[in-house]
Amino acid sequence: MGANINKMLLRRAGSFLARRAYSRNDLRKKLEGLAGDSEIKSVLNHLEQLNLLNDDDYAYNFALQRIRQQGWSPLKIQNALLRHEVGLPAIDRALELIRNEAGDQSALILEYIQNHFGKKGMPRDPKGVRKLILHLGRRGFDDESILGALRQILPAAALQPFETGD
């Protein structure tokens, strides 16, 4: 009976992993109720040995996708991965790899702005700049990083009200 449960769990886990990547904890939650904890743990360990389940790869791909496509900050990514119960060492390794590839937060912000505003152009009036700053703030970037990146692409006059607090 144990071999049948193991096969069924492997088949079910394989069908989940064929659709998209999962963290170990997310896949464990998907398999809960199908078998006992020891059987699920055994299947998860086997999938890790086969490198079909890998929290380091999951964290890196999750972070890269959120940064490139949604403009998330590293802090927002870290919080999201912690909610998926990915270990802090795996998160730190993934974010360090991305920092080495992309550069500092200013570079991430500039890349996101280029992708997001490339076609419709950068805002030049105070209302548009305010919206952009708030938009980037919702993505988890701090004000200093946002203003530092915007200084590189906007005229000083456009940013003056936000730097002086006027």
Residues 79-95 have pLDDT tens digits of 999 999 999 999 999 99
CB under 8 Å to 148, separation ≥6 — which residues? Answer: 106
Closest alpha carbon to 149 in 138, 139, 159: 159
Residue 48 CA to residue 8 CA, distance in Å, equals 17
Choose among 27, 36, 25: nearest CA to 2.
36
Q: What is the pLDDT of residues 124-155, one digit of tens each?
A: 788 888 888 898 888 888 888 888 888 888 87
pTM: 0.76
